[in-house]
């Protein structure tokens, strides 16, 4: 008996080991095994069995680490698809599927178990503390953890030992996950009355849930149109039919808000995200695997939750880039969701006010079912959007129109969001004399000045340095801070409106629970003005916001990325959607240097479909996605010349061995971000209408030998060409 073992290594093959007689009765697919590997031992994943092998010498599996498979057969099949499509090893995929706590041995806890038939008469009358502890034990429905029991009762360990010696209690080791896994009861929220447009969507989705039919539904609904209520009703139907649902959200910042809404309707909700501790993720994973959770909520990796009877997948804000993994395996959670749902015959519900052009194009072609929610719930109007041309306001952060609007909103008792998708204080530190810019020594980027800690930082690699008093080049005290980030927006806002309370939400100020604390402070009215980045742009419901001010709408517009227009439109439309979500109404002021650009102008009109048609025409002329599939090859190395020659070698290999009538190869060229973390980067873009031909070209690229000092990344369906 032989087994194939996959390792968390960037190698395209699996390794064959013999299964010794002593392990044959307990070995199963999906288990972790410890095996000899070269001069040491290594942990791998058991992925296949073979009856024979032609290899001359085969080593034995040393040990099995799990009593049961970590992944069910359905997820093992999905892992193989991800490995093939995204050009990475099967072991790397399985490693990414499993939360860190699950990959480690599960901790045991000592629990106090009452011996059946034991009575207090077995105790001596002098053992008063032991008798008290015995009475306490009667109130536990399951064996309590010893450490927690003693801490809660304040009774000594000696009293517990008295019960053990009397034969009334025994101490057993239990799985910690079994002891701490708990479910939260729903709060019993009464569902709101559905709008006719919501009912029409649900009438189309319910039959697919009931009949277990795989179909993709794209819900195009303006902000505030009640998409979440559609999700809740569809999930309720799924749960009542005896199956489970996975809900993907794009940001950890959105998870607490989403969880609150879902726990108001469902008793058994599990949460999976990277901000949890390893033990929290392990316990959630254990609950899900046992079928003890009806709804699983989390960012992209939650698509790997081991729900036993998957009946529906919901992808909220499906257009978001955060669903694309930036490291190996470079999967897109939305696309993985479709593959997983197809395998288990369940529908997928994608939702967004600004869908990705990939999803919208699929809907236009009939591959997805398109549903529209064109109106806000309660007949609330979309907020009017005013464009302010900042080319006539040189050097100003806030235009006079925005200043007046903020003051008016505050005087009227409303709340304000000031949005700028850049953190820090100044985006550039420049010498006014010699024009030298402070740059990162490791990346092709300038340093951003953070005033709060008086340091200049690279937002790509994390390099930081104290802000110098003089220019490093000409040694003159002529350094100027150019550009603006959220830190500067907050400082200027506090000067302009000094008697107002503020909260700032960006990745510098809000980490972990702080994100939710800051948003709650704004949500409950303790803060009147919220300054933030894209973390506040989508999904949040702030009924008292009567004004949204977009300080600079152009931050993404001119990036060297073919999706720059799409991202600009989406960001403006999503941020604008935070205004006017109650009967108080609201307005949006967008400051821009490009008021005539169609991405900006159509976002101001809340007209996604007109923008999408214009952008799709542009993409078709350029032969870019979604009209063709795309793959990005990036070679990087510390030696610039070596990286360049190796990239040329890979490009030549692809052109020589792939079907160039089906695959267009563009490049090699310098990557837009030429240097990152000390490594020089060169790229090739491959485009094709044939997914199989593109996959073959990627395999050729991956199979091209490069020197050990060079890294080759193959990124299928890249989110950005940076």
Q: What is the pLDDT of residues 162-212, one digit of tens each?
A: 889 888 888 987 766 555 555 555 566 788 899 999 999 999 999 999 999
Q: What is the mean pLDDT of residues 110-114?
A: 84
What pLDDT score was predicted for residue 721?
A: 59
Q: What is the Cβ-side half-sphere exposure of residue 297, based on CA atoms within 13 angstroms?
A: 24
Residue 649: other Cβ atoms inside 10 A:
17
Confidence grade of residue 125 (pLDDT, cut at 50, 70, 90): confident
In 3-state terms, the chain is what percent helix, strand and coil (to 5)?
35, 25, 40
What's the pLDDT tens digit per position in 311-366? 999 999 999 999 999 999 999 999 999 999 999 999 999 999 999 999 999 999 99
Q: Which helix or strand (DSSP H or E) is residue 514 part of? A: helix 513-523
What pLDDT score was predicted for residue 461?
A: 92
What's the pLDDT tens digit per position in 378-394? 889 999 999 999 988 77
Confidence grade of residue 255 (pLDDT, cut at 50, 70, 90): low
* pLDDT higher than threshold 60 for residue 619: yes
User: Under 8 Å CB-to-CB from 583, ≥6 apart: which residues?
Assistant: 378, 380
What pLDDT score was predicted for residue 106?
A: 64
What pLDDT score was predicted for residue 78?
A: 97
Domain 380-424+484-621, classified CATH 3.20.20.70, yes or no: no
What pLDDT score was predicted for residue 124?
A: 81
User: Under 8 Å CB-to-CB from 378, ≥6 apart: which residues?
Assistant: 583
* pLDDT higher than threshold 90 for residue 374: yes
CATH (residue range 196-377) = 3.40.50.300
What pLDDT score was predicted for residue 419?
A: 94
Q: Left if phi > 0, otherwise alpha if psi is -120 to 50, otherwise beta: which for 345? A: left
What pLDDT score was predicted for residue 107?
A: 65
Architecture of domain 629-716: 2-Layer Sandwich (3.30)
Q: Fold match between 196-377 and 380-424+484-621? A: yes
Residue with tokens 């070209």: 697
What's the pLDDT tens digit per position in 540-571? 788 899 999 999 999 888 888 899 999 999 99
Q: Which of 109-118, 162-171, 471-480 has the lowest mean pLDDT?
A: 109-118
Give CA separation, 93 vs 104, 536, 711, in Å.
17, 31, 19
What's the pLDDT tens digit per position in 583-600? 888 999 999 999 999 999
C-alpha span between 705 and 641 (Å, rounded): 17
- CB–CB of 465/456 below 8 Å? yes
Q: What is the mean pLDDT of residues 457-474?
A: 91
Of residues 651 and 519, more confidently modeled = 651
Q: Left if phi > 0, otherwise alpha if psi is -120 to 50, otherwise beta: which for 165? A: alpha
CATH homologous superfamily of 2-103 equals PriA, 3(prime) DNA-binding domain (3.40.1440.60)
Give CA separation, 103 vs 8, 581, 721, in Å.
12, 44, 33
- pTM for this entry: 0.87
Whole-number mean pLDDT of the chain? 90
What pLDDT score was predicted for residue 510?
A: 66
**Domain-wise residue ranges, the chain:** 2-103, 108-180, 196-377, 380-424+484-621, 429-474, 629-716
What's the pLDDT tens digit per position in 498-543? 999 999 988 887 665 677 788 888 888 899 999 989 888 776 788 8
Q: What percent of the chain has pLDDT over 70?
A: 96
What pLDDT score was predicted for residue 276?
A: 77
**Torsion of Cα atoms, 123 then 128 then 134 then 138, to 10°:** 120
């Amino acid at each position: 008996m032989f087994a194939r073992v996959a390792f968390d290594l960037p190698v395209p093959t699996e390794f064959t080991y013999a299964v010794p007689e002593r392990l044959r009765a307990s070995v199963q697919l999906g288990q972790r095994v410890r095996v000899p590997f070269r001069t040491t031992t290594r942990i791998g994943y058991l992925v296949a069995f073979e009856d024979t092998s032609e290899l001359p010498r085969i080593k034995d599996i040393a040990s099995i680490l799990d009593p049961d498979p970590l992944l069910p057969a359905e997820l093992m099949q999905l892992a193989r698809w991800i490995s093939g499509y995204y050009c990475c090893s099967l072991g790397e995929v399985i490693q990414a599927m499993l939360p860190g706590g699950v990959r480690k041995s599960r901790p045991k806890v000592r629990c106090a178990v009452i011996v059946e038939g034991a009575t207090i008469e077995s105790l001596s009358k002098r053992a008063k503390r032991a008798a008290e502890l015995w009475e306490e034990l009667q109130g536990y429905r399951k064996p309590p953890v010893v450490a927690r029991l003693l801490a809660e009762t304040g009774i000594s360990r000696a009293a517990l030992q008295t019960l053990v010696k009397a034969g009334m209690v025994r101490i057993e080791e239990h799985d910690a996950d079994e002891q701490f896994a708990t479910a939260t009861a729903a709060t019993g929220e009464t569902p709101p009355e559905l709008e006719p447009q919501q009912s029409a969507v649900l009438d189309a989705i319910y039959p697919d849930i009931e009949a277990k039919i795989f179909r993709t539904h794209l819900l195009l609904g303006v902000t505030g149109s009640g998409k979440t209520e559609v999700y809740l009703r569809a999930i309720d139907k799924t749960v009542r039919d005896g199956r489970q649902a996975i809900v993907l959200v794009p940001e950890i910042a959105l998870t607490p808000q989403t969880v609150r809404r879902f726990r108001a309707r469902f008793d058994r909700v599990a949460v999976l995200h990277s901000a949890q501790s390893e033990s929290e993720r392990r316990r959630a994973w254990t609950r899900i695997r046992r079928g003890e959770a009806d709804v699983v909520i989390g960012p992209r990796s939650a698509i790997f939750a081991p729900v036993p009877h998957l009946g529906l997948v919901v992808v909220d804000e499906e257009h978001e880039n955060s669903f694309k993994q930036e490291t190996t395996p470079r999967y897109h959670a939305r696309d993985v969701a479709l593959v997983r749902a197809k395998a288990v015959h369940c529908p997928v519900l994608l939702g967004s006010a600004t869908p990705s052009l990939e999803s919208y194009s699929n809907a236009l072609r009939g591959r997805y079912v398109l549903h529209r929610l064109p109106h806000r719930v309660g007949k609330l109007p979309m907020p009017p959007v005013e464009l302010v041309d900042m080319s006539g306001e040189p050097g100003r952060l806030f235009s006079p129109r925005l200043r007046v609007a903020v003051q008016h909103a505050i005087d009227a008792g409303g709340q304000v969001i000031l949005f700028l998708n850049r953190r820090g204080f100044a985006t550039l530190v420049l010498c006014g004399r010699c024009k030298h810019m402070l740059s990162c020594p490791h990346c092709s980027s300038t340093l951003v000045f953070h005033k709060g800690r008086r340091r200049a930082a690279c937002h790509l690699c994390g390099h930081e340095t104290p802000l110098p008093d003089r220019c490093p080049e000409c040694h003159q005290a002529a350094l100027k801070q150019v550009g603006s980030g959220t830190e500067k927006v907050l400082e200027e806002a506090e000067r302009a409106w000094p008697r107002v309370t503020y909260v700032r939400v960006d990745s510098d100020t809000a980490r972990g629970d702080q994100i939710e604390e800051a948003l709650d402070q704004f949500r409950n009215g303790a803060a009147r003005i919220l300054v933030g980045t894209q973390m506040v742009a989508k999904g949040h419901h702030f009924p008292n916001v009567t004004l949204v001010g977009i300080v600079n709408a152009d931050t993404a517009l001119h990036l060297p990325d073919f999706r720059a227009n799409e991202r600009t439109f989406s960001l403006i439309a999503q941020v604008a959607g935070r205004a006017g979500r109650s009967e108080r109404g609201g307005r949006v002021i967008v400051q821009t240097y490009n008021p005539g650009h169609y991405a900006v102008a159509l976002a101001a009109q809340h007209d996604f479909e007109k923008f999408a048609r214009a952008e799709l025409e542009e993409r078709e002329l350029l032969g870019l996605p979604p009209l063709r599939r795309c793959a990005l090859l990036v070679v990087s190395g510390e030696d610039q010349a070596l990286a360049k020659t190796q990239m040329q070698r890979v490009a030549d290999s692809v052109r020589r061995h792939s079907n160039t009538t089906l695959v267009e190869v563009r490049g090699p060229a310098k990557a837009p971000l030429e240097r990152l973390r000390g490594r020089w980067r060169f790229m090739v873009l491959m485009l094709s209408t044939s997914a199989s031909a593109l996959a073959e070209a990627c395999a050729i690229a991956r199979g091209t030998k490069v020197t050990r000092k060079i890294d080759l990344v193959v990124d299928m369906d890249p989110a950005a060409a940076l």
